[in-house]
């Protein structure tokens, strides 16, 4: 039976996870501040980034949990068959959607944060 090289599948999977984590942080932009000496303006700009930062932390931890479980699962498998490879590819496919849904969750967090700060 033809098997995939386990080390190659692990390396490919780790590469995909690394790209996913990199894409997560791209949504956080450095805020533009007109008066660089203004502490109040810097504080306000950083406060406005808080929902995106919280969303990034949640998404990052979620990817880390998936990666740890993926690592443990691959340690249990002796040989990577075609079926296991394609199931692994399917997992990576679904994980690659995590960065695309993060801006939506940041908007939800921002809305709730604004409501809580008004209370």
Nearest to 100 by CA among 20, 12, 45: 20
Determine the 3-state secondary structure of 81 from DSSP.
Answer: coil
Residue 41 domain-assigned (yes or no): no
Residue identified by tokens 């990577």 is 80
Contacts for 13 with CB less than 8 Å, ≥ 6 apart: 70, 74, 88, 92
pLDDT of 119 reads 47
Q: CA-CA distance, 18 to 31, in Å (whole number)?
A: 25
SS3 62: helix
| Residue range 101-111, pLDDT digits in tens | 655 555 565 56
Give the pTM.
Answer: 0.75
Range of the domain at 85: 6-26+51-118
- Which single residue is written with the structure tokens 């919280």? 54
Residues contacting residue 109 through CB under 8 Å, at least 6 positions apart = 51, 54, 55
Residue 76 lies in a domain: yes
In a domain? residue 64: yes
Confidence (pLDDT) at 105:
54
**How many independent structural domains does the chain possess?**
1
Residue 4 pairs in a beta bridge with: 80
Residue 67 lies in a domain: yes
Q: Is residue 74 part of a domain?
A: yes
Whether residue 58 is contained in a domain is answered as yes
The answer to whether residue 15 sits within a structural domain is yes
| pLDDT tens-place string over residues 19-38 | 999 998 887 777 777 877 77
Backbone angles phi, psi at 88, to 5 degrees: -65, -45
Query: Is there a domain that residue 38 lies in?
Result: no
């Amino acid at each position: 039976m033809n098997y995939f090289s386990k080390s190659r599948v692990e390396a490919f999977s780790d590469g995909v996870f690394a790209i996913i984590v990199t894409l997560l942080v791209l949504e956080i932009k450095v805020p533009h501040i007109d008066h660089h000496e203004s502490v109040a303006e810097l504080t306000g700009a950083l406060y406005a980034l808080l929902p995106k930062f919280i969303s990034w932390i949640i998404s990052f931890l979620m990817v880390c949990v998936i990666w740890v479980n993926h690592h443990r699962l691959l340690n249990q498998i002796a040989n990577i068959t075609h079926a296991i490879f394609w199931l692994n590819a399917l997992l990576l496919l679904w994980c690659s959607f995590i960065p695309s849904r993060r801006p939506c969750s940041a908007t939800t967090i921002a809305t709730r944060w604004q409501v809580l700060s008004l209370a």
